[in-house]
Each structure stands twice: as structure tokens, then as C-alpha cells.
């Protein structure tokens, strides 16, 4: 199965909820007779409800609905109008900078249970399959189990790993991983960080220290900071995301567990509210279940006509 089919399958719980009703609305609003008129109030309200139920979020829904209310007399179809507006939301997110520095150091951050360690394993596998030679770094020294889990993923993906010894300093492990990666010719270095310490302030201090030490080991590091968000948490993940974004300098999002939720519209809320690009989505627990995100494919899969 290609990426697009897997995305569609991953989004199936969301589309099951959305599609029947959306098709009905579109049919009513897009008849020859209706196309040249403003969209009816009831249709707009039903659309609003539908978007909110898929967790598109209040602000992004408002933006889409405003565009629909203002449907011009050019005869745009409601389907195209909605799809176009969502695409525009994604177009407003900044892509990661291409500064040309190597090896790339990529920190993976997020709250425990969101799928961080799994994502590091899957991402290592994906990058290796595309011809790169990633190294994974287990810097969650707070949880021995996380180090063991990452070891299993590294073995599965067939990539090098630098792991923390119990109680060692996470920043020192990251420094070691960058040096080791350089000497082995590995690029990028994927760093699995802790998702919880004794308290939030400690966690943010630790991330800050990792950033400073990484910068000493490699110019411009960390080059990317990927925030892992669990789609099943929906809107509630956004507040978490805001905190990480401020402190950890997040540059992009990985949205996991899209397969387990009807709230797949949360991708739109993330792009709209956080202005962060979504780079990958998780659609299952297997090693191949991470796919590069394409907003066009996502919008097509969300409002597909028939497939």
C-alpha cells in the first residue's frame, strides 16, 4: 500500500463520521440553482457542527465557515471552497529551515504516552529506507524502560543507537551521540527525550540543557525539534503543545494515532493555532506506520468523493 492509501485507511474513523453528512450538505448547496447564491444559514451551521465534531477546533472552523458564508457568485462548489480553505490553513505554516548543516540533530519531544519512542523507531526506519543512515539516541534517562524500548526499535530498524546508562545526564548522552554519530558517518541523529520528570519545570530545564549541549557539539544544533502529539487527545493536546513550543523551540509536529480516532480534523487545528508544520503522521503501531504528511493528500483523504 502506498502512503496515500495508508493515510486514507488511517483517517477512516474520521471520514466515516464526516463524509456522509458532508456529501449531503454539498449536494444541497452545489446544485445549479444554489451555486450562484450564498450558502444557506442551516447548511453553514451544519457544516460548522460537522467540523467541530471532527476536532478541527473553534478558530479554524470559524475561518472556514467565514469563507463559506462569503461564497461569491462565481459559482464555487462548497466542496472546493472548504478544501481550499483548509489547504490555505496548512499553507500558513512555516516549513523547516534548510541550513545545510550536518549531521542534523533532531530532538523528539512530547508528553509520555503520545508515542514518542515509537515515533523515533519508525522515523529511523523510514529515513534508513530513503537511503540515510540515522543514529538514535536514548536520552530519556528517567525511564529505563524507554531506553530498552528504543533499543528494540533500533534493532528492528537496523540502526545504530547511543543509550544512556541509568542515572546519567541526558545532555551528556546527547553530546556522546553526536560525537559517535559523526565518527560513524551517521546523519541525522534522532534524540528521544524524556516526557516527564519530577515536575514540568525540571523537564523544561532539561530540554534547555540538551539544546545548549547539542549546540556545543554540532553547529546550529538542534536543527529540528519535533513535537509528538497524540491525535486521540484532540484539542486538549494543544495546550501542551503551546508550552513545549515556547520552551523547546518546536519546529514541527508528528501527529500519532490518527488510526485510533474520529478526531483526525485536529491536524487542521494544529496548523491553524500553532502555525507549525505537520511533518509526519502515525497510522498504527507497526514499524512502517509512519508516513510523511502532505496537506493536499490529507485534505483529499478527508473530503474524498469516492475511493
CB of 201 to ligand GDP, least distance (A): 20
CB of 207 to ligand GDP, least distance (A): 14
Q: d(Cα 91, Cα 38) in Å, to the nearest integer?
A: 26
Check if the beta carbon of residue 270 is closer than 8 Å to that of residue 250.
no
CB of 198 to ligand GDP, least distance (A): 17
CB atoms within 10 A of CB 166: 8
Report residue 57 as a C-alpha cell: 477546533
Report residue 55 as a C-alpha cell: 476536532
Return the residues of window 24-43 that contact ligand GDP according to CB under 6 A: none
Using CB under 6 A, which of 15, 117, 141, 245 touches ligand GDP?
Answer: 117
CB atoms within 10 A of CB 43: 18
Question: Does 260 interact with ligand GDP (rule: CB under 6 A)?
Answer: yes
Nearer to ligand GDP, 118 or 245 (CB): 118
Nearer to ligand GDP, 105 or 283 (CB): 283
Q: d(Cα 168, Cα 140) in Å, to the nearest integer?
A: 10
Closest CA to 44 of 73, 64, 27: 64
Using CB under 6 A, which of 284, 291, 298, 302 touches ligand GDP?
Answer: 284
Give the number of residues in contact with ligand GDP, rule: CB under 6 A. Answer: 19
Question: What is the radius of gyration, based on Cα positions, of the chain?
Answer: 21
Question: Does 257 interact with ligand GDP (rule: CB under 6 A)?
Answer: yes
Question: Does 259 interact with ligand GDP (rule: CB under 6 A)?
Answer: yes
Question: Does 254 interact with ligand GDP (rule: CB under 6 A)?
Answer: no
Sketch the per residue contact string, 129 through 168, with ligand GDP: x for CB under 6 A, - otherwise: -----------------x----------------------
Using CB under 6 A, which of 6, 116, 211, 223 touches ligand GDP?
Answer: 116
Closest CA to 161 of 134, 132, 130: 134
Check if the beta carbon of residue 259 is closer than 8 Å to that of residue 283.
yes
DSSP 56: -
Closest CA to 164 of 153, 179, 175, 152: 175
**3-state DSSP of 239-267:** HHHHHHHHHHCCCEEEEECHHHCCCCCHH
With contacts defined by CB under 6 A, name the span among 60-68, 207-215, 246-254, 276-284 that binds ligand GDP: 276-284
With contacts defined by CB under 6 A, name the span among 41-49, 52-60, 252-260, 268-276 that binds ligand GDP: 252-260
Q: Per this entry, what is the length of the chain? A: 307
CB of 259 to ligand GDP, least distance (A): 5
Q: Which residues bind ligand GDP (CB under 6 A)?
A: 110, 112-118, 146, 195, 256-257, 259-260, 282-285, 289
Amino acid at each position: 500500500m502506498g502512503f496515500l492509501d495508508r493515510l486514507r485507511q488511517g483517517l477512516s474513523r474520521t471520514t466515516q463520521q464526516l463524509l456522509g453528512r458532508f456529501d449531503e450538505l454539498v449536494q444541497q448547496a452545489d446544485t445549479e440553482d444554489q451555486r450562484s447564491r450564498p450558502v444557506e444559514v442551516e447548511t453553514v451551521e451544519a457544516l460548522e457542527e460537522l467540523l467541530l465534531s471532527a476536532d478541527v477546533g473553534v478558530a479554524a472552523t470559524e475561518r472556514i465557515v467565514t469563507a463559506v458564508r462569503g461564497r461569491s457568485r462565481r459559482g464555487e462548489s462548497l466542496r472546493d471552497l472548504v478544501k481550499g480553505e483548509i489547504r490555505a490553513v496548512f499553507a500558513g505554516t512555516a516549513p523547516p529551515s534548510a541550513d545545510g548543516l550536518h549531521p542534523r540533530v533532531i530532538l523528539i519531544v512530547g508528553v509520555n504516552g503520545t508515542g514518542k519512542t515509537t515515533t523515533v523507531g519508525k522515523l529511523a526506519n523510514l529515513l534508513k529506507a530513503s537511503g540515510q543512515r540515522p543514529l538514535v539516541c536514548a536520552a530519556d534517562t528517567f525511564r529505563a524502560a524507554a531506553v530498552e524500548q528504543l533499543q528494540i526499535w533500533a534493532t528492528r530498524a537496523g540502526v545504530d543507537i547511543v543509550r544512556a546508562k541509568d542515572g546519567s545526564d541526558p545532555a551528556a548522552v546527547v553530546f556522546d551521540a553526536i560525537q559517535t554519530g559523526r565518527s560513524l558517518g551517521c546523519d541525522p541523529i534522532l534524540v528521544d527525550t524524556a516526557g516527564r520528570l519530577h515536575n514540568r519545570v525540571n523537564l523544561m530545564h532539561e530540554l534547555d540543557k540538551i539544546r545548549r549541549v547539542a549546540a556545543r557539539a554540532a553547529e546550529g544544533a538542534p536543527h529540528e525539534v519535533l513535537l509528538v502529539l497524540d491525535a486521540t487527545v484532540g484539542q486538549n493536546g494543544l495546550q501542551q503543545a503551546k508550552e513545549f513550543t515556547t520552551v523547546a523551540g518546536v519546529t514541527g509536529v508528528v501527529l500519532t494515532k490518527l488510526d485510533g480516532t474520529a478526531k483526525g480534523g485536529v491536524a487542521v487545528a494544529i496548523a491553524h493555532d500553532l502555525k507549525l508544520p505537520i511533518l509526519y503522521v502515525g497510522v498504527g503501531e507497526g514499524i512502517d506506520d509512519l508516513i510523511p504528511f502532505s496537506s493536499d493528500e490529507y485534505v483529499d483523504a478527508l473530503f474524498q468523493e469516492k475511493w
